[in-house]
Every structure is written in C-alpha cells, then in structure tokens.
Amino acid sequence: MKNLLSLLVLCILLLSCSTKSTEVCPEEDASQFVTLTDVVPDAILEIRYFGTYNFVGTRIDGYEEPTALLTRQAADSLKAVSDDVIKQGYRLKIYDAYRPQKGVDHFVRWAEDIADTLMKAYFYPDLDKSVLFPQEYICLKSGHTRGSTVDLTLFDMATEKEVDMGATFDWFGPESHPDFCGNPETGQYNGDNRKSPKERSITEQQFQNRMILRQAMLRHGFKPFDTEWWHFTLKDEPFPDTYFTFPVKQLHN
C-alpha cells in the first residue's frame, strides 16, 4: 500500500510539472501574431531597431531578427492598405511593428542616460535630451507592444525611391506632427511652420505625400497618432490591455 501511495504521489507531481511546462502566460503568447510579410508580401522591411540607424544608435533589445510581426487582425487590415496604395503606384515600407516590452525598457534606460547623445544630430537636434522623457517622446509603455501598431511610409514604384515626407522617421519635434504645415482632417496645406523651433518647414508636395499614406490607413481601419505622421494603430485592436514580451523574430505558426 505504501509503495502504491508513493507511486500515485509521483504521478501527480509529474503531471503537475508537465502541465506547468506547457503553460504560456498571456504576455509571452505569440500564437495570435503573424510574420507581416506572410500576409503582406509586397511590404518592404527596413526594421530600424534591428540595426544601428535609429535614435539610440545601437540594436534595440528584443529585436533578434530583421522582421516585422503584427496581430493577425492588424496584418489583414494592412494587406488591404497595401492593395490600396499599390493601385496608386506605391508599396508600403515598414520601419517597426510589434515591439517587445524589453525594447521599450531599452528606450527608457537610454533616455535616462543624458550623456548619451550619439544620434542627436540625426533625430533630435533641436531638443535637449533631458526633455525627451518629460515631453513623452519616450514612455514607459508603447502601443507597439500590444501588437497592432505599425510605423511605415510609402515607396514609389516609379522612381524606386522612398517617398519624401519632409521629415525622417523618428524625428523628435513638431515637424513630425500630422498637422505640421497643414490640416490633416481636410488635407489642406497651409505652410504654417510656427511650431518649428528652428523655422523648419515642409513643402505642399511633402504634406500631400503624408496625406496619401494617412488616408489609405484610415480607409482600412487604422487610427493616426497626433505627433507622428508614420504611426498608426488598428482601431479595434484585439489586445488593448496586453503588453507582450516575446522577441521579434520569424514566427513558425
């Protein structure tokens, strides 16, 4: 009887360990995500945080491969955007999509290191680095980490060049705002550059280029961000309260 009882206890322990080993906490579960180019094969990838040309100047934690991941719903909607802009002579170029919390934490550590200004001339020449965190250029949480936000631009198939938007991706300043020099609600250019600390400006063509991207994204279920012309989030994002932690690398669902 004692041997039988010991065997029963051992079986229960083994079953418990096996169950625990297969459990995946919600933040680590990538099962509802897809590799973006599997759904949008026409998209061009330039994953800035996998390389060194970004505002930090080094590869960002959590970016293990130069790929883009999104929730299935966001990827399907982006496919509709891609089909839309292809008819207009463009392809989508992706800078960033899902961003693991580890990457956001890297941004926060960088922002707290005031002495590290390696990439200031390229991304925030008009600002003292000390204001980036207080002015919310860098935050503790990011919509990207919920998996349905994408940073992107247009690629002109006729010229075989990236479309000129008048300000680079991840430029910290009012020049990146969708309402800079125009009204994004009406699509009208007005040339008003008074918000620019250095009187920088964009042309009417550059403003209209931003509007082509914006209007295509809005037509297919995305909402814009009021400080970044390149940033859009799926309106009905499936995980509005979950900040995922798994790394950026090719999925094999």
Angle formed at CA 108 by CA 105 and CA 111, multiple of 5 degrees: 155
Q: H/E element holding 20? A: helix 2-22
- Dig out the tokens for 216 from the structure: 């295509």
- Dig out the tokens for 81 from the structure: 């955007």
Which one from 27, 112, 162, 228 is the annotated catalytic residue? Answer: 228
d(CA 245, CA 253): 17
The distance in angstroms from the start CA to the end CA of the chain is 47
Is 237 noted as a catalytic residue in this protein?
Answer: no
SS3 119: coil
Catalytic residues: 228
